[in-house]
Amino acid sequence: MQLLICADAIRPDLAWLLGTVSRTLRPAIRACRGPEGFARLEAAGIPIDSGARATAEALKAIVRIMVAYGGTIEDITVGDFLAMQAAASGTNETRGVRLAYHWLREQGRFPSDAPETLISFARRSGQVTPGMLVDRYHLKFQPVRDLLVDYITERQATLDYSSLRHVSAVLAGLFWSDLEKHHPGIDSLRLSAEVSTAWKARIATKTVVRRQPDGTRVEVTEPRVTAPAIKQIVRALSAAVES
């Protein structure tokens, strides 16, 4: 499985990554996903809490983002860190996420107006824009990315923020990002019967990590109880596009 992750053939989600302990994943990702980027980052040094443990925590957060969203250090966005912070909420991983964000920001890897810390971001905005919600999923086909941003922006007036986040996660993550992964080069929301049927089959189940009595963790596939609601959200998008 690690070989597939390093090759960016599969992208485990952040929840799975936060529940998985691997001593070999970080060096493997470093070796195959732009080792020069890691070398430059480490040579500059972490700007705060500059100890070995703090550096390790920050690097672990960076690797998890790269595994979940693909690419190299240079591809990491502010939106990735917001998603990571939300996934890590309530765990002991939040310190590493915040350190990693500050580290990359100090290296000039984010826009100049990016908040200095994730904490100040939360205090300043509390919420992110529809564009930032969609961009968490690194969609490749720009016209569909833009269409989703426009659609979610229109829905913003009638939905609370939690519902808006859910709609963006379904449409950008579970729907279009999934299609781009399984059908490289796809460029239309008008899906063939074959593509539509295959997507519905994938969305009907999900893979989760379960802790066994002996403390080990295993992946199991189980029905996705929210599949009907997910398909309804996609149907609403299709109806809006057709109208």
Q: Above 90 in pLDDT, residue 80? A: no
pLDDT tens digits along 191-210: 999 999 999 999 999 876 66
Residue 122 confidence class, pLDDT cut points 50, 70, 90: low
Tokens, residue 221: 């596939």
Cα three-residue angle 120-126-130, rounded to 5 degrees: 120
pTM above 0.95? no
Reported as a pLDDT band with limits 50, 70 and 90, residue 118 is: confident
Give the pLDDT confidence of 9-48 residue by residue, as tens digits.
Answer: 888 888 888 887 788 888 999 899 888 888 888 888 776 6
Alpha carbon of 126 to those of 30, 56, 139: distances in Å? 33, 28, 24
How far is Cα 48 from Cα 209, in angstroms, rounded to an integer? 34
The arithmetic mean of pLDDT across residues 116-126, rounded, is: 61
Give the DSSP letter string of 160-182.
Answer: -HHHHHHHHIIIIIIIIIHHHHH
Q: Which token pair is 227?
A: 């599949």
What does the alpha-carbon distance between residue 93 and residue 134 come to, in Å, rounded to a whole number?
24
How confident is the model over 93-103, as a mean pLDDT?
Answer: 89
SS3 209: strand
Rounded distance, CA 193 to CA 182, Å?
15
Does residue 176 surpass a pLDDT of 80? yes
Query: 185 or 70, which is more confident?
Result: 185
Interval 133-174: pLDDT, tens: 898 888 999 999 999 999 999 998 888 887 888 899 999 999
Is residue 50's pLDDT more than 70? no
**Mean of pLDDT over the chain:** 85
Examine the pLDDT at 225 and tell me if it is beyond 90: no
**What pLDDT score does 74 carry?**
86
Q: Which residue, among 107, 104, 112, has the nearest Cα to 84 in the 3D structure? A: 104
What is the pLDDT, as a whole number, of residue 48?
66
pLDDT at 49 (0 to 100): 59
Q: Using CA atoms, how far apart are residues 129 and 10, in angstroms rounded to an integer?
A: 28
The answer, yes or no, to whether residue 123 has pLDDT greater than 60, is no
